[in-house]
Structure 1
Amino acid sequence: MNSKRLIAVALLGSATAIAIPTLAQRAPDSGPVARYDMRAGTTSGFGMGGGMGGMMSMMMGGGGKSQAQHELWLRLGSSTAAANGKPKADHFMPDGAKLGKSVALVTPREERGPVDEIPRFDERQEPSGRMLIFWGCGEHAPKGQPVIIDFSKLAKGQVPPGVWTSSVPADWGPNLENSKTFGRWPAEDGKTVKGDSSLLGAHRVAGNYSPEMSFTLTKDFMKALSVKTASQPSGASLLSWGAVPDSTGYFASLFGSKQGPGGKTGDIVMWSSSSNRQFGGGLSDWLSPGQVSPLVKDKTVMSPQTTNCLVPAEVIAAASDFRMGTLTAFGPEENFSYPPRPADAKARWDLQWTARIRHRSTTSWMEAQGMNMGMMGASAADDDEAPANTASQGKKECKPKKSGGLFGGLAGAVLGGGGGGNGC
């Protein structure tokens, strides 16, 4: 099995809305009939232009600087069916969004989502190589690291116990499985959110399978991240970045490799900044402030005051040929619901709809032996010129298939992904 194949396998109401935290005080008697989920992201670094494609563009003369982009994901789920059997819904946005009068939320036939599973190998070939798993910031990896997965043993079903300890679930809200009728965007309309788009202002969501929603957003796309890497005398690598306003915490991860003797597949390396071996799941997704707060306390996520992290020397040595990293700043969340909770505690409360928007900012970088790419994309946040294209491109229908959620989730984040969660 060649190294590329092995790596691929291993990475397997128009009325005024109120803030939803009141739900914690009293649960509704019924509903919500419809739920709306928005994800707003800022991306920078080489991965923002399409992962490997963006990197190759810069290598082939596309320029060393990259401009920050925005991504936007919209998902509407309802417990009712479309009146005429043909689902239709639109999100009407403020002019600053630069998306025209509205964007259509398309109902897909199928969706696929990440599944946390150990990768499978081709039984006709004997896999070689290992995966080394490290975690935590520091000059050196502590005793007990790395956890080693031997691919030849893995192919025979010998899976080390407790390899993954992620307790942070990914939550994309509405989807085809938990909604009677579902719609999403980006879709096949050719529209893309721009690098200078703004979400501030009044929003309205209307369709034939959900109550009409109206709410006003006061939080915009987050500032772009910019990471610098610096080799240390110990062999460790210092990651440093500027603080991002409204950040609730930071999470860094790295994927790397080292070729084996004779050009054979060697070691694949995975590392995260979590001090308690947390990978994948929601850590490569959007997390609410309520989710991040306890993760900061148990040191799964770095605090919003943190602006640096040492990648241990052992990680750098183990991934000496190639390293690809990502840093995420989790951001604010706004919640809305209608109608308001009744003042009379005995009065019935039939909740019609809820809406929420979560924010994050993500940057990626890459280092490879023999290439001067250690700072590729690091100046993205410092480039305030005209905006670049967005990462929110229209997507075609897809057939559901399993993918390695923990391998794919972390690697996807490292590669500048973040995509549609449960979508294509």
Structure 2
Amino acid sequence: MSPLKPLALAVSGLFAFSSASAAEVVQKVKPPVSQAYIDLATFTGGAPSPAAGMAGMGGVTGMLGGLFGGGVGAAKNAERGNTFGQTQGQGQGRWMDVTLLTRENPKLKAATQAVPAGSKLAPSLNLQAPELEKPGGDGNMEQVTGMGDNNMPKGKMYLYWGCGAEVRKGQPLVLDLAKMDPAQYSKFFQNRSATQHLPAPAPGRPAWPNKADDRLLPEGASVAGEHAFSGEGLPEGFKFNIDGAHDLMPAVEANRSDSAGGVLFKWKAMPQATGWFVQAMGMRDPAAAGEGEIEMVYWSSSELPDMGMGLINYQPDSAIAKWQKEKVILPASATECVAPKEAVSAMAMLHVIAYGDELNMAYPPRPKDPKVTWEPQWDVKVRRKSVASLMPGMSAMNAAMGGGEAGSAPVAAKQPQQAKAAQDGTNEAVEAVKKSAFDVFKNVLQRKAEEVLSR
């Protein structure tokens, strides 16, 4: 035998042993006994306004709810103080949604969340799970009617993207609504999103706010400080601290100014922001839209084509970092972005979002030794965002109020009668944009459903 062969066998055996050892050190992680989710949102410049007619459209409502300035919770909010889901609305104010679940009690009906004095809701919030609702009607799905070519609006949609006053080469993407070309649609409707939906209130899953505790967050409230959950099936000592850096975010202070060279968006720097994104949607000719000839124009601050509807929401830290490298999301240091005047009309609805980083906590902490199984008793996820909405007609309303820079938000009213007249005009413009935009998406979605059913 060659004197080198035993050495080779020994070396190969060593590598095999090392590989086996490396495979053995993969840490085992068991799911937590209990989990809590807390969403914090700050909205400014808009007003609660339900996206009428979107009920029953499933997951689409989450995407379109923010686009149209409200959600299911916004509609219910008109009836009473506070409802779960306002963090997905666009209703002006500061909102919090809390959901709790535990594997030790799948039928958990109620729980208590001790909150710090700074929340102005102390000593506690009462979390409740809704009762199981009996299905109504005969249990059959409602038949979708009104689909077909006659319901498709006539016209085109245009997509622009990127910061800069000049329209870039290859822009805009144009979608002819009459052609219904699948390739054209897939290219046009690009909406990045890594948003995880907050578990909704359900039997065995208590939440706040609810019918029994529908208090609003008071002015100046802070959720920084110690919190604790208690209830049947929850682990003892379910306590955690939300530090000041992960409190409710301040309002985004943003404005737009139009000139012959473009449309400039500016906002005040925010230390809590990890990134920024700007999105606009409007019509070129509202009068023509009323007669079925529609031209919708979309623009976003992304350097890659993206309508932006999916990005005006919470995004995980990893997604924000990824999309900042791709220049889809603006850096935390950004304070302005200019758009071509062709891309943002005076009738455009605008959103500026400041993302906040997540706060993830668990107990006991993850063992550093990978050989030790991690068995957390509980974990908590806190998400944050702050969104400003600049609505059509803000420039006119601001001037009537005696405000300063065009489109600034928020604005303090100085001349109530003039402000009301300007606000009435603004509301009419907003409703015109919403109706036309919703008609487009409703018919597009109906046609897509029709295609699936016909296969």
Q: Same fold, TM exceeding 0.5?
A: yes
Aligned-pair CA distance for 1:379:
3.9
The structure whose RCO (Cα within 8 Å, separation 6+) is larger is: 1
Gaps of at least 5 residues in structure 2 are 1-24, 51-68, 75-90, 134-143, 400-404, 414-436, 442-455
Aligned to 1:295: 323
Distance 1:139 1:28 in 2: 53
Aligned to 1:416: none
Aligned to 2:425: none
Distance 2:373 2:394 in 1: 65
Aligned to 2:118: 96
The verdict on how the C-alpha distance between 1:277 and 1:209 changes in structure 2, with shifts beyond 3 A counting, is farther
2:377 equivalent among 349, 352, 362: 352
Distance 1:358 1:369 in 2: 30
Q: Contact 1:325/1:364 (CA < 8 Å) preserved in 2?
A: yes
Aligned-pair CA distance for 1:284:
1.8
1:286 equivalent among 311, 314, 330: 314
1:305 equivalent among 333, 347, 360: 333
Aligned to 2:364: 339
Aligned ranges for residues 19-418 of structure 1 at < 5 Å?
A: 27-47=27-47, 51=69, 69-82=93-106, 85=107, 87-108=109-130, 109=132, 122-123=147-148, 124-154=150-180, 160-175=185-200, 181-188=204-211, 189-212=213-236, 213-218=238-243, 219-234=246-261, 236-259=262-285, 261=288, 264=291, 265-280=293-308, 283-316=311-344, 319-320=345-346, 322-342=347-367, 344-368=369-393, 371-372=396-397, 378-380=408-410
Aligned to 2:14: none
Aligned-pair CA distance for 1:94:
0.6
After TM superposition, the score normalised by the length of structure 2 is 0.64
Query: Which amino acid in 2 is paired with 1:193?
Result: L
The verdict on how the C-alpha distance between 1:351 and 1:360 changes in structure 2, with shifts beyond 3 A counting, is same
Aligned to 1:417: none
Q: Give CA-to-partner distance per residue, 1:362-419, whole Å, 9 cap, x none.
A: 1111234994458687343999xxxxxxxxxxxxxxxxxxxxxxx88xx9xxxxxxxx
Q: Contact 1:32/1:352 (CA < 8 Å) preserved in 2?
A: yes
Q: Contact 1:121/1:127 (CA < 8 Å) preserved in 2?
A: no
The verdict on how the C-alpha distance between 1:280 and 1:254 changes in structure 2, with shifts beyond 3 A counting, is closer
How many residue pairs get aligned? The number is 333
Query: Which amino acid in 2 is paired with 1:186?
Result: P
Gaps of at least 5 residues in structure 1 are 1-24, 55-66, 111-118, 384-406, 412-424
Q: Contact 1:32/1:354 (CA < 8 Å) preserved in 2?
A: yes
Query: Which amino acid in 2 is paired with 1:211?
Result: P
Q: Contact 1:135/1:276 (CA < 8 Å) preserved in 2?
A: yes
Distance 2:368 2:302 in 1: 44
Query: Which amino acid in 2 is paired with 1:228?
Result: N
Distance 1:49 1:96 in 2: 29
Aligned to 1:418: none
Aligned-pair CA distance for 1:164:
2.8
Distance 2:116 2:394 in 1: 47
Aligned-pair CA distance for 1:280:
4.8
Q: Contact 1:135/1:272 (CA < 8 Å) preserved in 2?
A: yes
Q: Give CA-to-partner distance per residue, 1:309-342, whole Å, 9 cap, x none.
A: 01212213xx35x111010111132221011234
Partner SS for 2:348: strand
Q: Contact 1:364/1:377 (CA < 8 Å) preserved in 2?
A: no
Aligned-pair CA distance for 1:145:
1.9
Q: Contact 2:282/2:297 (CA < 8 Å) preserved in 1?
A: yes
The verdict on how the C-alpha distance between 1:131 and 1:185 changes in structure 2, with shifts beyond 3 A counting, is farther
Which is greater in Rg? Answer: 2
Query: Which amino acid in 2 is paired with 1:40?
Result: L
Aligned-pair CA distance for 1:354:
0.9
Distance 2:367 2:158 in 1: 55
Q: Contact 2:398/2:408 (CA < 8 Å) preserved in 1?
A: no
Query: Which amino acid in 1 is paired with 2:205?
Result: F
Q: Say what the alpha-carbon RMSD is for the aligned residues.
A: 3.6
